[in-house]
Every structure is written in C-alpha cells, then in structure tokens.
Amino acid sequence: TDSISKPMFKPKDHQHLRYNPLRDSWVLVSAHQMKRLWKGQVEKQPEDNIPRVRANGEGSNWTYDSTFMFDNDFPALQPDTPDPGMIFCPVQSHKTQSLYSVMCFHPWSDITLPLMQPAEISKVIDRWADLIVELGAEYTWVQIFENKGAMMGCSNPHPHCQVCPSNFLPNEPALMQTQERVVVENEHWLVVVPYWETWPFQMLLLPRRHVLCLPDLTAQERDSLASIMKRLLTEYDKLFEVSFPYSMRWAATGSYLKEDMSHLQLHAHYYPPLLRSATIHKFMVGYEMLANEQRDLTPEQVLEKIKQQQHQQ
C-alpha cells in the first residue's frame, strides 16, 4: 500500500520549503545536514574577561552613566556626498545621505544587554524612540541595529548599537511591506521562532498590539520591552554557555511614516550565527549564496532546545 511504500515526512529528516510572508520568498530547510560530522572551521571561544573600560579606553574625557552617542568614524553612509550622476554609472545610481552614529548602552565595556538591569535597558529603548522622532523628521528611514560579538563583525567589545538614518527606503523594509512558535512572552510582547526563519536561532520580537514605531510605545510597554529583551538575550547566552553573538535590527522608520503605513507592525529581528556550539557557526555559502536560502535546524527543533533549557532552570 501507499502507506507502506512511502516514508512518513519528518521535518527534521526531510528537506522542504517554507514560505516567508515578510519577504515573499522561500527558505529551504535541510535539518538532516546536522547529522553530518563537522570537520570544518572551528572558531575561538570569546574572551571571558573583557577589561572594564569606557567606550574609547581609559582616560576618556566622556562622562556618562547611561547611553552615550558619538559619530561613527567609518560610516557606511556619510552625511554629504556628491551626486554620482549618469556619468559614473549609465544604468542607475542615486545620491545617498545619512548621519551615522554609534550609541553605547552602558558606561562599562563588559556589561552586555542581558547583564544589564531592566531599568537600564529601558533607558536604551527610550533613547531609540527619541532618535526615531528626531531623525525621522529629516530622513526617510531610521535604521537601528546591533552587531554583538566578533563573529558578527563587531570590532569593539563595548556594548553598543548603530543608528543609520537614510534619505531612501532600504531593500529589506521595502520587501516587508508587501505561524509562529513562542519562546518567551509577557503582557505586552512576544518572542517567536518564525516558521520561515533562515538563521539557526533566529527570533522575531513584536508587540501584542498594533504599534507602528518605537515612539508610539507607552512607558509600561517600554519597561515590558526591556524585561523581555533581557529574558531573550539571557536565553541566548545559556544556549552554548557563551556571550551569544548576533545582529539585531529594529524595523524603525523616519519621515517615511508620513505616508499611510498603518499596515506595518513594529518588530525586531535577531540573527545569531551559531549553529552547533559556541565555536561552530553557520556558513551562508554555496547553495545558500547562489541559489536559495537554506537552514540546518527546523524552527521546531530550536524551540524544543530552548524549552528544554527553560525547564532545567
């Protein structure tokens, strides 16, 4: 019979495609690849003892006890550049403008977000909201993102994010205009493992009610956000007993919101690279780079691993 001749589908054993409604794209899930013996590159463990200094080293003239902003010395987008025009590129090119800044979360270089108190994280969130209002008055899009850990290209161990407003709408939020697993939750927020995620432990953070941008959050929702961020990032750190690297970005907008954007929903993405251990990360190469996004763990496996971890606490 067909039931005997055909094997039963198991997500962790059989490759399949999953639809990402935010990007209108498909992700190839190949969880059976995790059974392969790893003989590839193994990273060094992150340093356990990071020297406690201020953002620009000992002897700093900066005095601050919470968040602190300063200009990025080597920004991807600069405040004023000449228009490339048609002479430089006969196909298509446009002038870009920005005011790229770095925002420190805490005075001390060894205090990451999961180690901060919720009240300290709330101050970070308040500053994010203020920046969206301030910069959004002039720029089309205000992108806030954090790269944590050397594995994610972070060149400075001091806990910080980057604020990058632009006079154009970037590709990812433009795409996202056009079924989840809950990891942690509270009264105002949910953290879920997306059904269509690509990175091994990718998470989506979003409010329970419809909110357009960070400045629209109430004081209670901001405190609640600080609490759930700490919970999520603490779960990350416990996965492989390491300060977990990741890239995080808020879907934060600027003057772009002057249009009717009521269909949008405030949310944040977390993209961690670690796959098997603290020293083995995912490589976005080969088929993933040239043909189609592909993941090595099913979202269900990720959720099961974290839930087991929570039960052991």
Q: Tell me which amino acid residue 231 is.
A: R
185, 283 in Cβ contact below 8 A?
no
- pLDDT, one tens digit per residue, over 59-110 is 455 677 889 888 777 766 666 666 666 555 555 555 566 677 889 999 888 8
Dihedral sign computed on CA atoms, order 122, 240, 151, 59: positive
- DSSP, collapsed to helix, strand or coil, labels residue 142 as strand
Q: Please state, as a whole number, how many other Cβ atoms lie within 10 Å of the Cβ of residue 167.
A: 16
- pLDDT, one tens digit per residue, over 222-237 is 999 999 999 999 999 9
- CA 96 vs CA 93, 164, 171, 172: distances in Å: 9, 12, 14, 17
CA–CA gap between residue 304 and residue 299 (Å, rounded): 9
Active site members: 160
Q: Which pLDDT score is estimated for 218?
A: 96
Task: Say whether pLDDT at 250 is over 80.
Answer: yes
162, 72 in Cβ contact below 8 A?
yes
117-155 b/e with 16+ CB inside 10 Å = b? eeebbbbbbbbbbebbeebbeebbbbbbbbbbbebbebe
Q: pLDDT band at 153, cuts 50/70/90?
A: confident
Q: What is the mean pLDDT of the chain?
A: 83
**Residue 253 per-residue DSSP state:** B
Q: pLDDT band at 183, cuts 50/70/90?
A: very high
- pLDDT, one tens digit per residue, over 116-128 is 999 999 999 999 9
Q: Please state, as a whole number, how many other Cβ atoms lie within 10 Å of the Cβ of residue 35.
A: 8
- pLDDT, one tens digit per residue, over 42-53 is 888 877 777 666
Task: Say whether pLDDT at 55 is over 60.
Answer: no
Q: Please state, as a whole number, how many other Cβ atoms lie within 10 Å of the Cβ of residue 46.
A: 16
Report the Cα–Cα distance between both ends of the chain, in Å, rounded.
47
Q: Which pLDDT score is estimated for 59?
A: 42
